[in-house]
Amino acid sequence: MFPLLAIESSCDETAAAVIGEGHQLLSNVVRSQVAEHEAFGGVVPELASRCHLEAIGPVVEEALGRAGCSLDDLQAVAATRGPGLVGCLLVGMTYAQGLAMAKGLPFLGVNHLEGHLLAPFVGMAQPPFPFLGLVVSGGHTELLVARGLGDYELLGETRDDAAGEAFDKSARLLGLPYPGGVVIDRMARDGDPAAVELPRGMMHKGGYDFSFSGLKTSVWQYTQRSGLPKDSALNDFCASLQEAIVEVLVHKTAKAARQLELSRIVVSGGVAANSRLRSAFEGLCAEAGWELFRAELPLCTDNAGMIGYAASLRMARGERSSLDLDVSPGLDLVDASIAPGQAHV
């Protein structure tokens, strides 16, 4: 099964990684498309697909080179099946399936969200199940219980905008450059998180569900009423905005952990790289005596290392995918433990 080549192309990063014996990450190469999409203030799906087509060959070659292996050394291939942008997913999946067919290698289609969920455990023989997982990114905000590989129970999710989307769209309203979440994080470090009163959507209702659209609306109303904040006022606004998002995420996670008596907390996804979110969870878990698991920063955002790790765990228990498996842009993390087109061998 090793070395295993994994490919990730669900949105605007073209990525390839090689997983070696013991589920160890031998290489993890990510080609960002920020420069291509910056002028549009967000990801343009057709442009992203074309960028993947141009980048995927060189990115795979670089990943293999860094791992010290060649195509002939590979024993398995995996790629992100979904969720994501359909054109982008197709580039990575068809490349991986074509390579598996040409080399006669086993192939596996991987759930992108499972990759994020398990990213903190890359290199481990098995994740420490059970745990409470918060997957928070530009497109997803989900709170779930993970009892085993593929055994996930969804507790709550966003009813509108994801947390990362709220960061990025609010940044656009504030006139900040793309990608806005990173800029808000940086500016918030010099601001007062209590300077501006902003709503905490559904913090004390709705069970474990989230809502961030009202916060985004409040940002728009503020800019219409008072204009764009400048200098120190902008730092204060960014800090207040960030605190409003982080406080809800931490509160709902803590509530679930206490009610379900789970003492292992996993925070993953692109927003897990946010410095305030990381420090808030550190404080929460230290106070409560819970174990906190987070991915290293390079494994928080979209990457193929997390896809390869998830694939290596599933392949180790005999799972394989058909070479005609199709992409699934709306793939759910809590679908069946083996997705359609997969089988035990």
Each residue's pLDDT tens digit, 12-54: 999 999 999 999 999 999 999 999 999 898 999 999 999 999 9
The SS3 of residue 267 is strand
Question: Domains in the chain, please, with CATH?
Answer: 4-120+302-344 (3.30.420.40), 127-294 (3.30.420.40)
The answer, yes or no, to whether residue 341 has pLDDT greater than 70, is no
Q: What is the mean pLDDT of residues 181-195?
A: 97
Q: Is the per-residue pLDDT at 336 higher than 50?
A: no
Listed residue (225, 228, 257, 77) closest to 155, CA to CA: 257
**pLDDT at residue 300, as a whole number:** 97
- Residue 204, token pair as written in the block: 């004390």
For residue 52, what are the CA distances in angstroms to 13, 90, 114? 8, 10, 22
- Measured between alpha carbons, how far is 131 from 308 in angstroms, rounded to an integer? 21
In the prediction, which pLDDT does 233 show?
97
Q: In the prediction, which pLDDT does 340 show?
A: 43
What's the pLDDT band for 344 if we cut at 50, 70, 90?
very low
Strand 291-294 with 319-321, pairing: unpaired
Note the pLDDT tens digit of each residue in 87-98: 999 999 999 999
Residue 286, pLDDT > 90, answer yes
pLDDT attached to residue 295: 94
Residue 1: pLDDT band (50, 70, 90) is: confident
Specify the DSSP element, H or E, that contains 26: strand 24-32
Alpha-carbon torsion angle 258, 161, 268, 200, nearest 10: -40
Q: Report pLDDT for 37.
A: 94
Instruction: Give the span between the Cα atoms of 10 and 277, in whole angstroms.
Output: 24
Q: Read off the pLDDT band of 342 (50, 70, 90).
A: low
**3-state class (DSSP) for residue 86:** helix
Helix and strand element counts for the chain (H, E): 10, 12
CA proximity to 19, closest of 34, 11, 10, 8: 8
Confidence of residue 206 (pLDDT cuts 50, 70, 90): confident
pLDDT value of residue 278: 98
Q: Give the tens place of pLDDT for each residue, 121-147.
A: 999 999 999 999 999 998 899 999 999
Q: How many residues does the chain have?
A: 345
3 state SS of 133 = strand
* Count of Cβ atoms closer than 10 Å to residue 217 Cβ: 13
Mean pLDDT, rounded, for 285-305: 97
| Per-residue DSSP letter, 176 | P
CB 188 within 8 A of CB 233: no
